[in-house]
Amino acid sequence: MLLLAAAAIAGLAPAAPAAARAGREPLPSWNEGPAKRAILDFVSRATREGSPDRVRPEARVAVFDNDGTLWAEKPAYVQAQFVVDRVRALAPEHPEWREKEPFASILAGRPADALADQRALVEAVMATHAGMTTEEFDAVVRSWIATARNPKTGRLHTEMVYQPMLEVLDLLRAKGFRVFVVSGGGIDFMRPWAEEVYGIPPERIVGSAIETRYETREGQPVVARQPALAFVDDGPGKPVGIQRHAGRRPLAAFGNSDGDFEMLEWTTSGPGARLGVLVRHTDAEREWAYDRESPVGRLDKALAAAPERGWVVVDMKRDWRAIHPPRRSARR
Amino acid sequence: MLLLAAAAIAGLAPAAPAAARAGREPLPSWNEGPAKRAILDFVSRATREGSPDRVRPEARVAVFDNDGTLWAEKPAYVQAQFVVDRVRALAPEHPEWREKEPFASILAGRPADALADQRALVEAVMATHAGMTTEEFDAVVRSWIATARNPKTGRLHTEMVYQPMLEVLDLLRAKGFRVFVVSGGGIDFMRPWAEEVYGIPPERIVGSAIETRYETREGQPVVARQPALAFVDDGPGKPVGIQRHAGRRPLAAFGNSDGDFEMLEWTTSGPGARLGVLVRHTDAEREWAYDRESPVGRLDKALAAAPERGWVVVDMKRDWRAIHPPRRSARR
């Protein structure tokens, strides 16, 4: 099922770089306007032969938040839905969860109460996911994501990615950029599907993490997931995570919430061609509309800072011709 | 100077993949024998169309220890020489170092006493390198490596890489592998030069690390290096580091010391085509000869385990036609 969905999405991906190479118009799902123009201008400044701000290919790094920037985060973070399903699946082995938050609320059918805060969410994810080996966890995520659907739209989560952002990934790659996902979500929750869905390999995924330990189980060496938070990749953690994994300050950063503030700040404070982009969810009809008041994906401080910092604010309703890739899976 | 040296080394690199693609003999600096045969057999099993053990390209990951595996580690670790030079350079600002080990021994001209143990070395590196920003440290390393030479051979460190291993890197890349360096040394010590010298980008470098923090200095946002060890990428730390950065168990692992034992163990315990290689330093004439008794690069437990685990032991004297790339810089 995942392969089907991924193939459907991947089927779109080659079009854009090919188009870019062939000189056809890039970013076809973007309406003409300041946001599209700013992205194209940045790419041109950073890569065009003869540009005074041209950057050598090795230093062309761009980073993307995941939830709300590359795929939908409403009605709840995808990983929150994964936590809910895992808590339900594992509840028989954990009678103590009936009295302990956030598990009690989840089991009582009120997951939104329990998981609205991203840090509580991350901790709940870690608590439900420690104990197994990294390879076992990988298999659990693959199995879940293959069939899990957005509760509002009924589409696979892997189809709830943003088509205009896939086109930005493709454009940047066609221009020699290495693109990274830098998410507050769990690094090992994203890796199992990000390569098929975004074309981004595991070493270019940055995220929150739990401790791991090398040990022997049933005579086999494994890397085992420990019940301890190792790293929270949110807010000021994002530049730290980027430095740790990518080893460089990016040239371009795309986010959608205050958790991306420091990532955009660090990125756009460097010299030369820089790009900071905030995706603003303004389309209540085709998607969701939220910013300052939303517990998930709150966009307040970063939005206020955008004008003076020169950050581009994408208005989804105005700037995006399409939101998601076409429903390919229905054709089969 | 680094650019010169790197260009010289890089000048060799394209030859091998081109040769491999053209059907010419790969691994030209390897003598015929069981080690070369085992590497070629593994590559064929893992990648040949129709092979029952063929692995999809996304999962083709190979890992290489650095010191003693990709470049020389005698008469001392390169990073130890860097520490010595940094301690001398910074000593005027640190009068307390005259009475504190390992600094006192370094300043007294006995660096070998102070830095023989790899963990002491890593800590000394961290102690001498905290305080500055990641970008400042990057610049210090680039500047140093551009002129630093092996005290015995007089060659640039970046020329003390092993030509046969560069050919293995090239062969694996030509066959769709992503190659990672996984070193006990500092991750941020390797990143500034590994891309030019090995063709390996920063996100494919795994190593020991100190803590970092996002903060503002003189009005500018920076990632600042903290005086605290965050991760030791040695022994059982290597599988943990690989999982953290590469996100997968490798198919092939190359090392040369007991610090690589767990990396080889984890790698070769997986199903299907697997390769574990130990580079044994047996050539006192062209390089150095050492194993069980050496404080640097001790190879004892892993060597004893090699036969029953099916690990390939490379005998440098017998198996390698050349040790280092030709002296190209002399031509200019």
How close B187 gets to chain A, by Cα (Å)? 9
The strand pairing partners of B206, in sequence order, are B182
- pLDDT recorded at residue B105: 85
What Cα–Cα distance (Å) separates residue A263 from each residue in A104, A167, A183, B100? 34, 21, 11, 39
pLDDT in tens, A220-265: 999 999 988 899 999 999 999 999 999 999 999 999 999 999 999 9
- pLDDT recorded at residue B23: 57
With CB atoms and an 8 Å threshold, state whether B223 touches A243.
Answer: yes
Residue A20 — pLDDT band, cuts 50, 70, 90? very low
Q: Compare CB distances from A239 to B220, B223, B243 and report the shortest one's residue.
A: B223
Q: Give the predicted TM-score (pTM) of the model.
A: 0.90
| Alpha helical stretches, state H, B91-236 | 103-107, 111-115, 118-129, 134-145, 163-174, 187-198
**Cis ω for the linkage preceding A102 (within 30 of 0):** yes
Residue that has been written with the tokens 């030209």 in this structure:
B28
Residue B286, C-beta contacts closer than 8 angstroms, at least 6 positions apart:
B316, B317, B323
Angle formed at CA B168 by CA B162 and CA B173, multiple of 5 degrees: 130
Q: Which residues of B touch A262 (CB under 8 A)?
A: 214, 221
- pLDDT recorded at residue A191: 98
Q: Find the mean pLDDT for residues A268-297.
A: 95
Alpha-carbon dihedral angle through residues A113, A116, A120, A125, given to the nearest 10 degrees: 90
Asked whether A253 and B271 are in contact (CB, 8 A), the reply is no
- pLDDT recorded at residue A227: 84
The strand pairing partners of A280, in sequence order, are A315
Q: Compare CB distances from B247 to A191, A222, A249 and report the shortest one's residue.
A: A191
How close A191 gets to chain B, by Cα (Å)? 7
Three-state secondary structure call for residue A182: strand
Lowest mean pLDDT among B41-45, B119-123, B322-326: B119-123
- Other Cβ atoms less than 10 A from the Cβ of A217: the count is 10
Residue B329 — pLDDT band, cuts 50, 70, 90? low
Query: How far is A59 from A57, CA to CA, in rounded Å?
Result: 5
Three-state secondary structure call for residue A299: coil
Lowest mean pLDDT among A150-159, B15-24, B207-216, B267-276: B15-24
Q: Which residues of A touch B222 (CB under 8 A)?
A: 266
Residue A185, C-beta contacts closer than 8 angstroms, at least 6 positions apart:
A66, A67, A77, A79, A122, A125, A207, A208
How close B247 gets to chain A, by Cα (Å)? 5
Task: Copy the structure tokens of residue A233.
Answer: 């990749």
Asked whether A191 and A138 are in contact (CB, 8 A), the reply is yes
Total CB pairs under 8 A between chain A and B: 86
Which of residues B105 and A179 earns the better pLDDT score?
A179
Tell whether the model's pLDDT for residue B44 goes beyond 50. Answer: yes
How close A212 gets to chain B, by Cα (Å)? 6
Which of residues A264 and A8 earns the better pLDDT score?
A264
Which of residues B26 and B228 earns the better pLDDT score?
B26
Asked whether A203 and A69 are in contact (CB, 8 A), the reply is no
Interface of A with B (CB under 8 A): 58, 134-135, 178, 180, 187-188, 191, 195, 201-205, 209, 212-214, 220-223, 236-237, 239-240, 243-249, 262, 265-266, 269
Q: Which residues of B touch A265 (CB under 8 A)?
A: 221
DSSP B20-47: HHTTPPS-TTBPSSHHHHHHHHHHHHHH
